[in-house]
Structure 1
């Protein structure tokens, strides 16, 4: 399927006749698109859904005129590839305008200004996680250029969106988002996405250092993995897709992703969609925040630079984190006590006996599991036709090995196209982002064994080693459930 293929027309005008096409028809109604998004358990690409969005013209050059003179923070990273991921704590940062970025990116011969110390042949630049509501604070009309309501999310537009502008090689380290699912609209240039399913979490060697709320990072550089240090990663099921302008990628909850720009300039717009399971995820995040901040601050009370992500600028005191945890737990209980969710109704209709006063962790777990079973397209074939077709293409597992260098590219044969309420913890609309990772005990054991046999002579255990165990996503899930159960007795 070619990128940028034309949408279906209502008039059926023949191509090449010179006749003006009167009307474009989108392949999915907003209701159907939302049904797919809320049901699908694998990444997929929507085509022909955004051809009439004004935001399709948000190229870097266009935005440089709209944001003329506005200072934007760019993350600077090395184009050379190491086996160690380039986390944001190891990058440098530059304050510059989009005009200065484009000059540096396009005219490599004579560079001055903020980028003067960064050789284009060696560095990439990334203006990532730029909240549209902050960038265009005095131009609020521009929020209407982004129309997520076409995907069934009424009222959602640029106000709940994030902008990404990068040069060739710019990328985010492999991570999963604790909250929500993700919709990504590719505006300019192409980006390659490497995705891994939630069940492969033990194989990705998760870590919370550097710490950032709602981001679980992988210790593995997935495009240049150190298989001696991380042997289990070889079993991970990589899905690869090259996202082209005009396409929208759906990333389901808890799918790992590494994203790299493969064209000279790339522009993307995304929005994280809240999900029912986020209530427990916030409790898990609060537990993680408290443990990481307590141990790392005790280790070095004078510096957070080495372990706190630059995007995480909030207080890390134990008192603040205690309040954060308590608000997260209270919000979860308030939600389940006051809302008559579809999952609870499903439990009752399925013959499960649940008295209102028997509110405990088992109820929450049953609700989660029932909801997941009812919303999985893996078994929907018996009930309805597959949603996949020319305008919705699944991202399939890749049989190709990762390139040896960042500049190396997978061949693209066409098949690859596949409200903020004031509460401190509720950051979905304006920060980075449940189907929680299911237990694969044998893989966890194998991972532990691989750690122990990796370097037999290494007996020193660091604070980070301990945290990798204490705040492993599967561990914090159990801790959160025990905590919720204890409060509900």
Structure 2
């Protein structure tokens, strides 16, 4: 059963305090909502070259790389992304396009709308829901209609501002990580609407939360919440990420904001070493001591009881039509 995300009529402080995803409406995003047409974007963005994802199918899969990286002038990219059939194309006439803006030095610098697209940044008002010194990145995203992105998590809190077009977002709680068949920060279950239950039988145990973002909506995505997006129309959005943990918790060489926190990386590396050590034992001993390790981890880290209590309270919430307000 799908659970719909709540549209909040309380302050954003309440949402972040509970650390639950929520749709926020009635927040001023600037003049971008009126201005960002295909023609205006092309004019303001000009012929600046951008690196994009191009795929013959709309369901992009980062694990198996079913897309190609290509480069286009920004104005040509916007024109193609807004079309359903292309007279000029790389792979096929109905190929799908996706832009995730990058920093000038892609290996060191996070994306920042004000630096990569300064003329367009003047139209977008970054929501002031965090201290300016916590800011990490503002990521410009443009998608062809029908484009679906793989399920993954981020390690920072972020807001997804849907400026134009409509987008479906499906989310899963961090407590359902064991049911999502993870490979790094990504789920191996590509088709979340028609999953292969022979390969992924436990996927049905993951509780699905869903919303449809309309132009002007903000979605608060807490850190570690899995999300999958489907562009219902050609659309433009901006993701704003910020550091909600102490700065030294994050990998300093991470321009994308999706590497696990430093302590988590050390813990996972230690686990790998422990598992290699267990390989020195016979199978029945590995099984026994593996179960003991699982028990220790559950006692030290799991918080399912508290999380499930909050989830149950929100489980049958549907989207009301009243707008939300930002904190005064």
Q: TM-score range by the shorter chain?
A: 0.5 to 0.7
- CA distances 1:306-348 after superposition (whole Å, capped 9, x unpaired): xxxxxxxxxxxxxxxxxxxxxxxxxxxxxxxxxxxxxxxxxxx
Q: Tell me how far apart the structure 1 counterparts of residues 98 and 21 of structure 2 sit (CA, whole Å).
A: 24
1:270 matches 2:239? yes
1:237 matches 2:211? no
> What residue is the counterpart of 2:44 in the other structure?
66
Q: Tell me how far apart the structure 2 counterparts of residues 79 and 416 of structure 1 sit (CA, whole Å).
A: 34
> What residue is the counterpart of 1:77 in the other structure?
55
- CA distances 1:342-390 after superposition (whole Å, capped 9, x unpaired): xxxxxxxxxxxxxxxxxxxxxxx89xx9xxx9xxx959x9xxxxxxxxx
CA contact (8 A) 2:81 2:98 kept: no
CA gap 1:89/1:36 in 2 versus in 1, 3 angstroms: same
Q: Tell me how far apart the structure 1 counterparts of residues 229 and 158 of structure 2 sit (CA, whole Å).
A: 13
Q: Tell me how far apart the structure 1 counterparts of residues 124 and 82 of structure 2 sit (CA, whole Å).
A: 28
CA gap 1:283/1:104 in 2 versus in 1, 3 angstroms: same
User: How does 1:380-459 map onto structure 2 within 5 Å?
Assistant: none
How far did residue 116 of structure 1 move? Answer: 4.2
How far did residue 188 of structure 1 move? Answer: 0.8
* Structure whose residues are more often helix by fraction: 1
> What residue is the counterpart of 1:191 in the other structure?
167
- Total equivalences in the alignment: 266
How far did residue 98 of structure 1 move? Answer: 3.1
CA gap 1:262/1:149 in 2 versus in 1, 3 angstroms: closer
Q: Which runs of 5+ in 2 are unaligned?
A: 1-8, 104-109, 251-260, 273-299, 324-328
CA gap 1:108/1:397 in 2 versus in 1, 3 angstroms: same
SS of 1:150 mapped into structure 2: coil
1:176 matches 2:153? yes
How far did residue 417 of structure 1 move? Answer: 9.6
CA gap 1:195/1:46 in 2 versus in 1, 3 angstroms: same
TM-score where L is the length of structure 2: 0.67
CA contact (8 A) 1:241 1:416 kept: no
1:285 matches 2:265? yes
1:101 matches 2:80? no
Q: Tell me how far apart the structure 2 counterparts of residues 236 and 91 of structure 1 sit (CA, whole Å).
A: 28
Q: Tell me how far apart the structure 2 counterparts of residues 110 and 78 of structure 1 sit (CA, whole Å).
A: 12
> What residue is the counterpart of 2:281 in the other structure?
none
How far did residue 128 of structure 1 move? Answer: 1.8
> What residue is the counterpart of 1:256 in the other structure?
226
* Structure whose residues are more often strand by fraction: 2
- CA distances 1:176-200 after superposition (whole Å, capped 9, x unpaired): 11x2211111001011111011110
Q: Tell me how far apart the structure 1 counterparts of residues 182 and 62 of structure 2 sit (CA, whole Å).
A: 15
> What residue is the counterpart of 1:218 in the other structure?
187
CA gap 1:283/1:152 in 2 versus in 1, 3 angstroms: closer
How far did residue 252 of structure 1 move? Answer: 1.5
Q: Structure with the greater relative contact order (CA < 8 A, sep ≥ 6): 1 or 2?
A: 2
CA contact (8 A) 1:148 1:154 kept: no
CA contact (8 A) 2:153 2:224 kept: yes
**Structure of higher CA gyration radius:** 1
User: How does 1:301-316 map onto structure 2 within 5 Å?
Assistant: none
How far did residue 111 of structure 1 move? Answer: 1.4
Q: Which runs of 5+ in 1 are unaligned?
A: 1-26, 209-215, 293-364, 382-393, 399-412, 419-489
TM-score where L is the length of structure 1: 0.47
| C-alpha RMSD of matched pairs (Å) | 4.0
1:49 matches 2:19? no
> What residue is the counterpart of 1:200 in the other structure?
176
